[in-house]
């Protein structure tokens, strides 16, 4: 794979799953050591104490292994098997920082881990097979999607775009009309949070870079967020692009449509 292809390759869950497996092994090893090291000392307190502590530690290891297996199975099958909502909590709040730490120790690129986390998060959201009415879905875009030289200000209302086709806002206006959904352009994280508070969506589909999507998914929990990465051919935050077909595909999976939508 060339460097250019590598940059445009779809984010893979495999990296996050591999790091998750490794983290699980480390957790199990730590649990074993916590039991094994004081084991001899525990026998002095009560002869049965080493067995009791051993059973507790084995149960914790079992939970870690089962949880990891369940997570891998849920994302692989794309089905809500058990506790998917709870697993999103575990992945977002606990596993991500640990996996970022393990990844850093192994020298894995931070953005690659974030891409993988976003793909894993999207799988978990979609696997819940929650169908949401178009008026309860919010699509959030970064302002850098708009062509820098465009004189029209679409931040307040993207329908002001005259659809000249020089940037992806044109395709996004089409999507907004096709599904009758709200699309907002946010000039930063603070404004994005304000829009979410005002519109009170049941699901957010956000377009951004790896860093902003990762922090957005974390900040919004328990609100489900589907993240779509933008491409930055001219560097960060300038004339970025997004694959509109990915947004269309994600929306068609989660929207509760009364009748087939027409372009």
Per CB under 6 A, residues contacting ligand SF4 are 146-147, 150, 152, 154, 161-167, 169-170
List, in sequence order, the alpha helices (H) in the chain.
3-8, 14-36, 39-45, 49-77, 84-89, 96-106, 110-127, 169-179, 189-199, 210-220, 244-254
Instruction: Give the pairing type, strands 225-229 and 182-186.
Output: unpaired
Length of the chain: 263
**In the complex, least distance from residue 99 CB atom to ligand SF4, rounded to whole angstroms:** 37
Cβ 68 to ligand SF4 shortest distance, Å:
44
In the complex, the smallest distance separating the C-beta of residue 33 from ligand SF4, rounded to whole angstroms, is 58
Smallest gap from residue 100 Cβ to ligand SF4 (A) = 35
> CB within 8 A of 207, min separation 6: which ones?
139, 140, 141, 142, 145, 227, 228, 229, 230, 242, 247
Among residues 6 and 151, whose Cβ is nearest to ligand SF4? 151
| Residue closer to ligand SF4, measured from CB, 82 or 234 | 234
> What's the token pair of residue 6?
């590598």
**Complex with ligand SF4: residue 93 or 166, whichever CB lies closer:** 166
Q: Which C-beta is closer to ligand SF4: that of 138 or that of 172?
A: 172
């Amino acid at each position: 794979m060339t460097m250019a292809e590598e940059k445009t390759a779809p984010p893979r869950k495999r990296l996050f799953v591999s790091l998750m497996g490794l983290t699980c092994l480390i957790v199990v090893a730590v649990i074993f050591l916590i039991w094994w090291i004081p084991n001899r000392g525990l026998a002095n307190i009560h002869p049965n104490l080493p067995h009791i502590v051993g059973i507790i530690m084995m149960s914790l290891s079992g939970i870690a292994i089962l949880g990891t297996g369940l997570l891998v199975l849920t994302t692989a099958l794309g089905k809500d098997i058990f506790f998917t909502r709870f697993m999103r909590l575990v992945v977002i709040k606990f596993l991500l920082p640990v996996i970022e730490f393990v990844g850093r120790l192994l020298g894995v690129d931070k953005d690659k881990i974030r891409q993988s986390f976003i793909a894993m998060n999207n799988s978990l959201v979609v696997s819940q097979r929650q169908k949401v009415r178009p008026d309860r879905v919010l699509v959030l875009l970064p302002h850098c999607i708009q062509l820098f030289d465009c004189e029209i200000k679409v931040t307040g209302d993207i329908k002001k775009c005259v659809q000249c086709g020089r940037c992806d806002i044109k395709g996004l206006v089409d999507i907004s009309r096709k599904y009758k959904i709200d699309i907002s352009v946010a000039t930063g994280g603070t404004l994005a949070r304000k829009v979410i508070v005002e519109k009170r969506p049941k699901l957010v589909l956000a377009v951004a870079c790896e860093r902003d999507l990762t922090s957005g998914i974390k900040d919004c929990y328990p609100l489900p967020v589907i993240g779509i990465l933008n491409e930055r051919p001219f560097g960060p935050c300038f004339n970025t692009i997004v694959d509109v077909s990915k947004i269309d595909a994600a929306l068609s999976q989660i929207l509760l449509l009364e009748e087939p939508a027409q372009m």
